């Protein structure tokens, strides 16, 4: 017998599993709308020109080497990443009171951030995290692994396919002081529903009055509107109001660096002195986990952010990706309306970012997969970035069929 005879088969990851199903589907019309990765109009993965150019420059540089990075990662990358998020004129940046470490993309930032909070929140604070309902599937496990009790706050309203703001505020007002509040900075995954600027102001008040610890997960900066500054408005609102907060950043989507695992974790503190001590403790979280982060993705991102020409090119490409996604929303909406599909589909236009949360039921989603070869997560989330001018009408036809 094996030492591992008792080990049970784990279920496949609900999102990664969609791609496996799509791969195994022999039908030529098959569509993969599960994975949150940008695709070109031809349905192909896209390496940004700015990224290719930065990569070539790095490889051509004779001074390039493969030495270890510091535990906290590439210092230039860290500086540029936090500045990208908070803005150069941010009081926190100006006063040097942000502790930043490089992270294994957005997931790693969340994991290290959760571990830091679990260890270093004042002992009188509860270890409770509030997550939106629904949220990105990994949030729960990440915080649970770090020892947090996971609670949810109301977020998505199935009736309007919009924000349940009243429910959200009520749940946050009931949260014990010192609880961690996870917020999606923009382009909420999976719903595509974000608070309005006015609602963000009220959320700032609720957070501050309830003495909650904000943890912003920013996986889509620039990907929502096409504008890096506009998409960071929520985080900047909180920082500029003087709050201390935690921020996770990912360059997976906005630079297309998915597999490079380039991300950052920042803790915005009241003073430079506190930030210095926080950074020293973040290193103690990282060292026994993976020692130090990988260099290549961060070097690319640092060059793209730091070189004025590459930066301009990146912003242009980012706008291009965001615009193509918005266009796909329009095409899908028009096609649904043209087919007289019952219901108000204007939410397809209103939702923000890579995903649309359609409200389709599990049986409807299953039929989309089995009959139409449209692969998606069974919660009805579709990746708009996986559509094209030819596949969007096909999807509309499929949706019309499964919900009639
Ligand atoms: N947070 C949210 C809300 C996400 O949607 C994702 C990716 O889909 C991530 C974090 C983490 O992504 P990564 O670890 O690839 O940066």
Asked about 345 being catalytic, the answer comes back as no
CA of 64 to the centre of ligand 1 (A): 29
Cβ 267 under 6 angstroms from ligand 1: no
- C-alpha dist (Å) from residue 113 to 25, 179, 245, 317, 366: 39, 14, 11, 30, 36
Q: Tell me the per-residue pLDDT of 308-348, one tens digit each, with 9 for 90 and over.
A: 999 999 999 999 999 999 999 999 999 999 999 998 999 99
Of 136, 314, 345, 372, the catalytic one is 136
Shortest-distance Cα residue to atom 6 of ligand 1: 219
- pLDDT (0 to 100) of residue 17: 85
Cβ 87 under 6 angstroms from ligand 1: no
| CB distance 368 to 374 below 8 Å | yes
CA of 275 to the centre of ligand 1 (A): 25
State the pTM of this model: 0.96
Which one of 13, 35, 106, 187 would you pick to mutate in the ligand 1 pocket, going by the greatest count of ligand atoms within 8 A of its CB? Answer: 106
Distance of CA 16 to the CA centre of its chain: 16
- pLDDT (0 to 100) of residue 16: 82
Cβ 115 under 6 angstroms from ligand 1: no
CA of 265 to the centre of ligand 1 (A): 13
- pLDDT (0 to 100) of residue 43: 87
Which one of 186, 252, 383 would you pick to mutate in the ligand 1 pocket, going by the greatest count of ligand atoms within 8 A of its CB? Answer: 252
Residue 92 has φ and ψ, to the nearest 5°, of: -65, -35
Of 164, 171, 194, 217, the catalytic one is 217
Give the DSSP per-residue string, 73-98: --HHHHHHHHHHHH-TT-HHHHTT-E
Distance CA 319, CA 228 (A): 9
Query: Biggest alpha carbon distance in the chain?
Result: 64
The tally of CA atoms less than 13 A away on the side-chain side of residue 260 is: 23
Task: Give the number of other Cβ atoms within 10 Å of residue 25's Cβ.
Answer: 17
Shortest-distance Cα residue to atom 13 of ligand 1: 106
Quick one: 300 exposed, middle or buried, by C-beta within 10 A (0-12, 13-18, 19+)?
buried
Distance CA 239, CA 337 (A): 42
Cβ 335 under 6 angstroms from ligand 1: no
- pLDDT (0 to 100) of residue 15: 81
Of 164, 171, 231, 253, the catalytic one is 253
- pLDDT (0 to 100) of residue 73: 98
Beta-strand pair 213-218/245-250? parallel
- pLDDT (0 to 100) of residue 12: 82
Distance CA 195, CA 172 (A): 14
- pLDDT (0 to 100) of residue 117: 98
Distance CA 185, CA 219 (A): 8
- Residue position matching structure tokens 């009081």: 91
Shortest-distance Cα residue to atom 2 of ligand 1: 219
Cβ 217 under 6 angstroms from ligand 1: yes
Q: Tell me the per-residue pLDDT of 375-396, one tens digit each, with 9 for 90 and over.
A: 999 999 999 999 999 899 999 9
Distance CA 378, CA 134 (A): 13
Cβ 248 under 6 angstroms from ligand 1: no
- Which ranges of the chain have pLDDT less than 70? none
Cβ 254 under 6 angstroms from ligand 1: no
- pLDDT (0 to 100) of residue 14: 79
Asked about 200 being catalytic, the answer comes back as no
Shortest-distance Cα residue to atom 12 of ligand 1: 106
Task: Give the number of other Cβ atoms within 10 Å of residue 334's Cβ.
Answer: 16
* The dihedral sign for the CA sequence 287, 291, 297, 298: positive
Q: Return the axis-axis angle of helices 391-403 and 362-372, rounded to nearest 10°.
A: 130
Asked about 314 being catalytic, the answer comes back as no
The tally of CA atoms less than 13 A away on the side-chain side of residue 64 is: 13
Distance CA 390, CA 395 (A): 9
ipTM of model: 0.99
């Amino acid at each position: 017998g094996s030492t591992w005879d008792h080990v049970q088969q784990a279920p496949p990851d609900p999102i990664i599993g969609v791609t496996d199903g799509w791969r195994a589907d022999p039908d030529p019309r098959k569509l993969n709308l599960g994975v949150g990765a940008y695709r070109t109009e031809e349905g192909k993965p896209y390496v940004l020109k700015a990224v290719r150019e930065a990569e070539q420059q790095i490889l051509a540089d004779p001074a390039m080497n493969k030495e270890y990075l510091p535990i906290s990662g590439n210092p230039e990358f860290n500086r540029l990443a936090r500045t990208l998020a908070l803005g150069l004129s941010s009081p926190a940046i100006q006063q040097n009171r942000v502790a930043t470490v490089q992270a294994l993309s957005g997931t790693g930032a969340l994991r290290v951030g959760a571990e830091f909070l679990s260890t270093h929140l004042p002992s009188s604070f509860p270890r409770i995290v509030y997550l939106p309902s629904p949220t990105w599937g990994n949030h729960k496990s990440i915080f649970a692994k770090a020892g947090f009790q996971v609670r949810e706050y109301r977020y998505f309203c199935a009736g309007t396919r919009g924000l349940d703001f009243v429910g959200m505020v009520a749940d946050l007002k009931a949260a014990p002081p010192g609880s961690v509040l996870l917020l999606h900075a923009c382009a909420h995954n999976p719903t595509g529903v974000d608070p309005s600027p006015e609602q963000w102001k009220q959320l700032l008040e609720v957070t501050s009055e309830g003495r909650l610890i904000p943890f912003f997960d920013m996986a889509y900066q620039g990907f929502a509107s096409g504008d890096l500054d506009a998409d960071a408005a929520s985080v900047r609102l909180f920082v500029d109001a003087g709050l201390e907060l935690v921020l996770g950043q990912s360059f997976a989507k906005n630079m297309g660096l998915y597999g490079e695992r380039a991300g950052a974790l920042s803790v915005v503190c009241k003073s430079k002195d506190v930030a210095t001590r926080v950074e020293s403790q973040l290193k103690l979280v990282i060292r026994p986990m993976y020692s130090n982060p990988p260099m290549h993705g961060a070097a690319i991102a640092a060059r793209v952010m730091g070189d004025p020409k590459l930066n301009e090119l990146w912003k242009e490409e980012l706008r291009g990706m965001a615009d193509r996604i918005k266009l796909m929303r329009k095409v899908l909406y028009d096609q649904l309306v043209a087919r007289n599909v019952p219901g108000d589909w204007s939410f397809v236009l209103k939702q923000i970012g890579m995903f649309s949360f359609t409200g389709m039921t599990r049986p409807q989603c299953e039929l989309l997969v089995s009959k139409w070869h449209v692969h998606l997560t069974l919660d009805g989330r579709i990746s708009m970035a996986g559509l094209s001018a030819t596949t969007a009408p096909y999807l509309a036809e499929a949706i019309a069929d499964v919900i009639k």
